[in-house]
Amino acid sequence: MQRKVLALVLAGGEGRRLFPLTAMRSKPSVPFGGRYRIVDFVLSNIINSGIYSIYLLVQYKSQSLISHIQENWSQTSVSREQFITIVPPQMRKGLEWFQGTADAVLQNVNLIQQHSPTHVVIFGSDHIYRMDIAQMLDFHEQRNAKVTVAAIPVPIEQASAFGVIKTAADSRIERFEEKPKNPSSMPEDPTKAFISMGNYIFNTDVLLAALADAQRKNEHDFGGYVLPTLVSSGGLFAYDFSQNTIPSTKPYEEVGYWRDVGTIKAYWDSNMDMLDEEPIFDIYNNNWPIHPTISFVPPAKIISGDIQNCSISNGVRIKGASIKHSIIRSSVVIEEDVEITDSIILERVHIKKGAKLNKVIIDKNNVINEGETLGLDPNKDRFRLHIDECGIGILPKTIL
């Protein structure tokens, strides 16, 4: 039977640990890098893998995300098999919003039935990575799997935030524990645990039966119920993400780069990972592009300044500033004698003469006053910034 794949992207994440970046937008809609949003990475991976039937399931504070998809990911459909469709909660099963990952799919099971795929790819939208999903599908079919879970080793001290997997020699999953307090380590490396990336491939009949069972048991999550229940069937396999190969990957890049940017520290670190001359995640890859936000503003204009190891986006205007190891997004104005280090500046920020910024995140539409300092005096910063537990200060988005 010819493979027919439907992709469901779970893009309803509230992102509480990314506050205040998520005060007015959902986690997948948070800007990332010079010209992206977090959701662009999973959508690029799906499209680059040759999968063109995509439902994007949204929920919390979704308007920013919906606008982004409509403006940057609209497809002129040439057939019923090529679309990116935004699906808010339809409340077909009751008055509740999505109660969990499995419930989000269950509430939209009619879309699966209408499309009649052979396989359903269910991916999260909260991570920064490149992945050829076609290779995971090949793995799934070669092992005659019912369900395949993308997996990756992480330091064991981080594993409690994920589903932890124990596998046999043939990659068959023998145990799946959702967010265990005491995660099991990998037999060959006690410092690491093998965890689920939250990306799944289901045979359609298996998925529909599992969702019906979860509904009867009033269960709502893949990690908490569906996957542990399916382990006993013997058809659950783990796909080792480190085996996934992407064309034109540079020798200096980290093998199997994948980051859950669920905290301010992780978000800042992942942005910085793209900046070095030989970055561990190189955004410049023409053979596996991450599709950026469409821009209608003029190119960046740099009159003068000392700029080192930075990402500067369209519409930025710089005169006489010192900017080091920072990301400057679109339409930012930076005046004379400004100093910016280790920072992320989002769209339409105006930084006036003599301001100094160090390791801060400035959200959209803000004005930094002449001579103002941020990120240099913790006692002073707390009156102007939201200080995350990691110590990074964030200036929340301003509504114009």
Residues whose CB falls within 8 Å of the CB of residue 32, separated by 6 or more in sequence, listed in order? 38, 40, 41, 128, 261, 267, 270, 271
Chain-centre distance of CA 146, in angstroms?
26
**pLDDT at residue 42, rounded to an integer:** 97
Which residues make up each annotated binding site? 163, 178-179, 196
Instruction: Find where tokens 């930076």 sit.
Output: 334
**Residue 391: what are its φ and ψ, rounded to 5°?**
100, -10
**pLDDT at residue 90, rounded to an integer:** 66
**pLDDT at residue 243, rounded to an integer:** 94
**Residue 159: what are its φ and ψ, rounded to 5°?**
-70, -25
Domain 301-395: CATH class, spelled out: mainly beta
Which residues make up each annotated binding site for alpha-D-glucose 1-phosphate? 163, 178-179, 196
**pLDDT at residue 80, rounded to an integer:** 74
**pLDDT at residue 74, rounded to an integer:** 73
pTM: 0.94
Which regions of the chain are under pLDDT 50?
none
Instruction: Yes or no: say if 10 and 123 are a contact pair by the CB < 8 Å rule.
Output: yes
Q: What CATH code is assigned to 5-260?
A: 3.90.550.10
- CB atoms closer than 10 angstroms to residue 158: 14
Q: What residues does each domain of the chain span?
A: 5-260, 301-395
**pLDDT at residue 96, rounded to an integer:** 63
End-to-end CA distance of the chain: 54
**Residue 82: what are its φ and ψ, rounded to 5°?**
-125, 110
> Cβ-count burial of 246 within 10 angstroms (0-12 exposed, 13-18 middle, 19+ buried)?
middle
